[in-house]
Amino acid sequence: MDVADRLVFSRSRLRRGDCLYRAGERFSSLYAVRNGFFKSTAMLDNGRDQVTRFSMTGEVLGLDGIGPERHSCNTIAVEDSEVCAIPFAGLQALAQEIPSLQRHFFKMMSREIEREHGVMLQLGSMNAEERLAMFLLDLSQRFAARGYSRSEFNLRMTRADIGSYLGLKLETVSRTFSKFQEQGLIVVQQKWIRIRDSAALKRVMGRERN
Amino acid sequence: MDVADRLVFSRSRLRRGDCLYRAGERFSSLYAVRNGFFKSTAMLDNGRDQVTRFSMTGEVLGLDGIGPERHSCNTIAVEDSEVCAIPFAGLQALAQEIPSLQRHFFKMMSREIEREHGVMLQLGSMNAEERLAMFLLDLSQRFAARGYSRSEFNLRMTRADIGSYLGLKLETVSRTFSKFQEQGLIVVQQKWIRIRDSAALKRVMGRERN
DNA sequence: CGGTTTCTTGATTGGGATCAATAGGAGTGG
DNA sequence: CCACTCCTATTGATCCCAATCAAGAAACCG
């Protein structure tokens, strides 16, 4: 029996600013992003909330909810978007019967651990330029993986969102973009970015620290 | 058939400084810490490596290896320790047959995502005092959960390890401990710590930021 | 013991936060 | 289409926390 026959995939559209799910809500589905762009924010103990990830077409949202059975972050569309909801109960039952699906799942979750881990880890020891360089290269690579241009794209999010994600203030983000532009690494105009010298960006990112 | 009948749990002892597994090695087992204390370090792209977690008795090590099928960090005993190796292949096969085990597993991994996430996230927006306060309270809580004293314990790791984990330099760790001691929040003498006012530490940790 | 690692404390520096002011776009309604 | 407002981005000036450099002291260990 085919997976698609057993699971009901419901699609839904969201407009810019709409919330896909909120922290604390009961977890029931994973979401595949069909198109658009999302940001997830987590409320820290102190009340401020921080952007924890950006998600684009082809990526899966909601894995964080499986353990606690509640969503642990808010996920908001930063532009008009469309998602496909995958009921987790059904997926889990199916994994019980299909070994390869279970394996796939274990792997996907483990990779998730990895990814978050990796990004956040690196940030800790990086200065502003390194963070921004990493951010741009990460976006570039993900756009490329989805068939979009690797060197030219629109940042869908604001400077404040980028800053929150990277642990910088929006002024620093802006200043650093300007600096990169002066150095000829990128061209930036508002949300539009063109990467002119990705090798140099990699060098900025990899600058050794001690 | 009982789980213990199907899985071979092999125990091994490690001495201070011994390596349980290294990044890049083929992943085959998870490890339950029976006693002792471990630190995990991950090599960043730039060559420096950073402490990513400390693990104590009763905690599970190695989840990060499931996806890539290789360990992605080095794990080293910081004192004489003993672990129990759990072959992952067997565990996976068993999860295929026992729904509750599969569920338990999904949850454990998801919680792992959460935990790392939470800690690292918070760090980004915290200053040195807040980081140290959080670190002490986290350790205190974990010791308490294992039946040890909540208010008095030995830090097994060095100041440099703590600093690496928290994204601070060892001098800052030392200075901040001293400051806490002056304020009467803790008593510190080398690796020995006594928490005198955990409420105050919580207040330090929760100090609002903007 | 001497040698090594670990910890503490002081002096100075620098990168990013903060405060502040202006400019640029986007959306709305007349 | 323009005028108005709001949100977002840029840039400058100043300040502060933690890094860095440096020197000792304390503990650990063969």
pLDDT value of position B168:
95
Report the residue of chain B nearest A95, measured CA to CA. Answer: B96
8 Å CB contact of B45 and A123: no
Q: Which residues pair with A54 in a beta bridge?
A: A39
What does the pLDDT read at residue A200?
Answer: 95
Residue of A nearest to B95 (CA): A96
User: What pLDDT does A111 receive?
Assistant: 75
Residue at shortest CA–C1' distance from D17: B127
Q: Categorize the per-residue pLDDT at A46 as very low, low, confident or very high, splitting at 50, 70 and 90.
A: low
Q: How far is the CA of B70 from the C1' of C8 (A)?
A: 40
* A181-190 exposure pattern, b = at least 16 Cβ within 10 A, e = fewer: beeebbebee
User: CA of A148, closest CA in chain B: separation in Å?
Assistant: 26
Percentage of chain A with pLDDT > 90? 60
CB proximity A167 to B under 8 Å: yes
Closest nucleotide relative to residue A170's CA, C1' based: D9
- Residue A33 CA from chain centroid, whole number: 11
Q: How many residues does chain B have?
A: 210
Q: Would you say the C-beta of B125 is within 7 Å of strand C?
A: no
**Both structure tokens of A204:** 């900025």
Residue ranges of A 13-72 with Cβ closer than 8 A to chain B: 42, 44-48, 50, 52, 63-68, 72
Nearest CB partner across the interface for B114, out of A50, A67, A210: A67
Q: Does B161 touch chain A (CB under 8 A)?
A: no
Q: Mutate which of B63, B98, B110 to disrupt the A interface (most A C-beta within 10 Å)?
A: B110
- Candidates A74, A88, A114: best to mutate against B (most CBs of B within 10 A) is A114
| Per-residue pLDDT at B72 | 86
Q: Check: CB of residue A23 under 8 Å from CB of residue A90.
A: no
DSSP element (H, E) containing B187: strand B186-189
Using C1' positions and the CA of A209, the closest nucleotide is: D19
Query: For residues A127 and B127, is the Cβ–Cβ distance under 8 A?
Result: no
Model pLDDT, residue A4: 53
Question: Nearest Cα to A51, choosing from A145, A123, A149, A130?
Answer: A123
Average pLDDT over residues A161-173: 95
Q: What is the mean pLDDT of residues A63-69?
A: 81
Question: Which chain B residues touch A72 with a CB distance below 8 Å?
Answer: 114
Q: What is the pLDDT of residue A172?
A: 97
Residue A44 confidence class, pLDDT cut points 50, 70, 90: confident
Residue B1: the pLDDT is: 46
Mean pLDDT of chain A: 88
Q: In 3D, which of B128, B127, B129, B150 has the Cα closest to residue B197?
A: B150
User: Using CB atoms, which residue from B68, B117, B167 is nearest to A125?
Assistant: B167
Average pLDDT over residues A130-157: 94
**Angstrom distance, A130 CA to D17 C1':** 20
pLDDT tens readout for residues A15-24: 888 999 999 9
How sure is the predictor about A204, in pLDDT bands with cuts at 50, 70 and 90?
Answer: very high
Smallest CA–CA distance, residue A141 to chain B, in Å, is: 16
- Model confidence at A209: pLDDT above 80: no
Q: Which residue has the higher pLDDT, B4 or A9?
A: A9
Between B2 and A171, the more confident residue is A171
Instruction: Answer yes or no: do A110 and B65 touch at CB < 8 A.
Output: yes
Q: Which amino acid is at A147?
A: G
Flag the least confident range among A56-60, A62-66, B161-165: A62-66
Across A121-144, average pLDDT? 92
**Residue B190, phi-psi category: left (phi > 0), alpha (psi -120 to 50), beta (remainder):** left
Taking alpha carbons only, the member of A83, A86, A88 closest to residue A33 is A83
| pLDDT confidence of residue A95 | 85
Give me the residue from B96, B107, B125 closest to A44, CB to CB.
B125
Q: Is the CB of A169 under 7 A from strand C?
A: yes
> Letter for the amino acid at B183?
Q
pLDDT in tens, chain B (210 residues): 455 556 778 899 999 999 999 999 999 999 999 999 999 998 876 677 899 899 999 999 998 788 788 998 999 999 999 999 999 999 888 888 888 888 888 777 777 767 767 777 788 889 999 999 999 999 999 999 999 999 999 999 999 999 999 999 999 999 999 999 999 999 999 999 999 999 999 999 876 543
Q: What is the rounded distance in angstroms from the CA atom of residue B206 to the CA atom of residue B128?
A: 13
Beta strands A19-21 and A49-56, pairing class: unpaired
A145 close to B (CB below 8 A): no
Q: What is the mean pLDDT of residues A80-98?
A: 89
Pick from A52, A21, A55: nearest CA to A38: A55
Q: How long is the CA B202 to C1' D8 vector, in angstroms? A: 36
Q: Is the pLDDT of residue A137 over 70?
A: yes
**In degrees rounded to 5, what are phi and psi of residue B7?**
-110, 135
